Amino acid sequence: MTQAIEQYPLDESEQRLTVKEPETRHDTQGDMDVDERLRRAMANLAKNINRTTATYMEACVHCGQCAEACHYYVQTGDPKYTPIWKLEIFKQLYKRENSPFGFFYRLFGLKRKISVEQLGEWQELLYDSCTMCGRCSLVCPMGIDIATLVGQARHGMFKAGLIPDELHAVAQRAREQGSPLGATAEVFEDRADWMADEHDTEVYVDEEEADILVSMSSIEIMKYPNAIGATAKILNALGEKWTFRTEGYEATNFGMMAGNVEWQKHATLKLIEAAVNCGAKLVVLPECGHAYGALRWQGAAMYGKPLPFKVQHISEFLADVISSGRLKVRKVDQTVTFHDPCQVARRGGATEAPRIVMEALGLDLKEMTPHGDFNWCCGGGGGVVTIHRADKLRYKVFGLKMDQIEATGADTVLSTCSNCRQSYNDAKEHFNWDKKMESLLELVAENLVED
């Protein structure tokens, strides 16, 4: 399938007329001189160098396994996309300034001093060509968590004002308006009212007390609002005491993706405080991969103490209530394949939950090769889908998903991540492909067995 979407080779006359593509631009934010950008980048990169980081930097044996695990390297063959190379700035700083042999690295010029020009070049590697999907981390024989280190490297880039403009803009909008896509509290309430009418169900907002707090991603609110109605139908069928809260209704965390810890914390605390305010014992996160990681695995660090409630991805919640017999669904005569979202499955651990749900629905599941924890990324995570200059590369790596899906013979693709769904549907339109991706949550809501 990948070969089918490649351009035909140019003949000699066409090659002479081909205009060379411009070099990738490097965006900057803020009014800083070169020295100040470099100082801020180095100071904030250094903050993330600790014993764990040092162990990672010393452990790499240059085996190349991470390269074969990366969709960018596999689809391009370009060594600059090797995951461990994306950490060279980190490694360069550590070896030169913090390692036991730093004196010799400096004395003999074995690791040169980092320049702001080098940081600019690395912008593409840390943002445009890394979704932080964690496949490289999974296969590393030395246990190096490359994806987490890329996220930490982004901290220094953000402080230096050296991140892609589109990603900075949506992250800033999320901080200032409460949503990267403009889904303000007023917009959300309007959508909730609309979905209540559309699905003929009650959508609870701002209940003073609730056992369950639910949230949505910005993509669902603005592009896939049926997720609101589907969530409400399921919780109402269960007889749960639940609510959305306008002070914390959106779980998307672009601060984390952009590399701004303060903005990440602000978004996380809104959800935590919303749950505390209504006394929720459970927070159910939406079909959004990075939202799951931001609260489930990093939320306590942002809060400064253990979270006072349980956190579940919506697929985990559905698996639990179906397995216990509390929620009953009809059998669906449909052949599907399933796209495992990186941050929910590989990075999050919720790999089996959607399969429990699909088995209950009686779906004929044709698994991709590979699938589960080893599934290939959709190519749009980590904020990449917002960066337009990365579109060409993103479409190229999506060829892996097209190959996987075509090989299953399934007509429909299901997933539990709205960001994957957006990335998928954008690529589907680009390639004029006939496959469609649907939401597992919405499929469950459509097939509830009413008592």
State pLDDT tens for residues 170-186. Answer: 999 999 998 999 999 99
With respect to residue 17, please indicate whether it lies within any of the assigned structural domains.
no
With respect to residue 229, please indicate whether it lies within any of the assigned structural domains.
yes
Please count the structural domains in the chain. Answer: 3
With respect to residue 18, please indicate whether it lies within any of the assigned structural domains.
no
Report whether pLDDT(163) > 90.
yes
What CATH number did the domain enclosing 51 receive?
1.10.1060
pLDDT, position 111: 81
201 and 298 assigned to the same domain: yes
Report whether pLDDT(11) > 70.
no
145 and 198 assigned to the same domain: no
Report whether pLDDT(430) > 90.
yes
pLDDT in tens, 341-368: 999 999 999 999 999 999 999 999 999 9
The dihedral over CA atoms of 294, 173, 38, 97, expressed in degrees to the nearest 10, equals -10
With respect to residue 29, please indicate whether it lies within any of the assigned structural domains.
no
Decide which of 115, 146, 163 is a domain's last residue: 163
What is the three-class DSSP state of 214? strand
Alpha-carbon distances, residue 421 vs 220, 251, 317, 356, 415 (angstroms): 10, 16, 20, 21, 7
96 and 176 assigned to the same domain: no
Token output for 384: 């990449």
pLDDT, position 1: 39
pLDDT, position 389: 94
What CATH number did the domain enclosing 204 receive?
3.40.50.1860
Specify the pTM.
0.91
171 and 316 assigned to the same domain: yes
Instruction: Read off the DSSP letter of residue 206.
Output: S
355 and 405 assigned to the same domain: yes
Report the chain's mean pLDDT, rounded to a whole number.
91
pLDDT, position 10: 39
Higher pLDDT, 57 or 277: 277
Higher pLDDT, 282 or 118: 282
Confidence of residue 25 (pLDDT cuts 50, 70, 90): low
63 and 130 assigned to the same domain: yes
229 and 366 assigned to the same domain: no
Instruction: Read off the DSSP letter of residue 416.
Output: S
171 and 317 assigned to the same domain: yes
Instruction: Read off the DSSP letter of residue 114.
Output: P
Report whether pLDDT(6) > 50.
no
The stretch 231-251 carries a mean pLDDT of: 97
Decide which of 163, 179, 203 is a domain's last residue: 163
Decide which of 321, 346, 371 is a domain's last residue: 321
Tell me the residue range of the domain where 374 lies.
325-446
pLDDT, position 109: 83
pLDDT, position 13: 40
Report whether pLDDT(14) > 60.
no
Report whether pLDDT(83) > 50.
yes
248 and 278 assigned to the same domain: yes
Confidence of residue 8 (pLDDT cuts 50, 70, 90): very low
336 and 294 assigned to the same domain: no
With respect to residue 27, please indicate whether it lies within any of the assigned structural domains.
no
Higher pLDDT, 104 or 23: 104
Residue 370 β-bridge partners: none
Mean pLDDT comparison of 12-21, 42-51, 152-161, highest-scoring range: 152-161
pLDDT, position 18: 45
What CATH number did the domain enclosing 394 receive?
3.40.50
Query: How many whole angstroms separate alpha carbon 144 and alpha carbon 149?
Result: 9
Instruction: Read off the DSSP letter of residue 448.
Output: B
pLDDT, position 37: 93
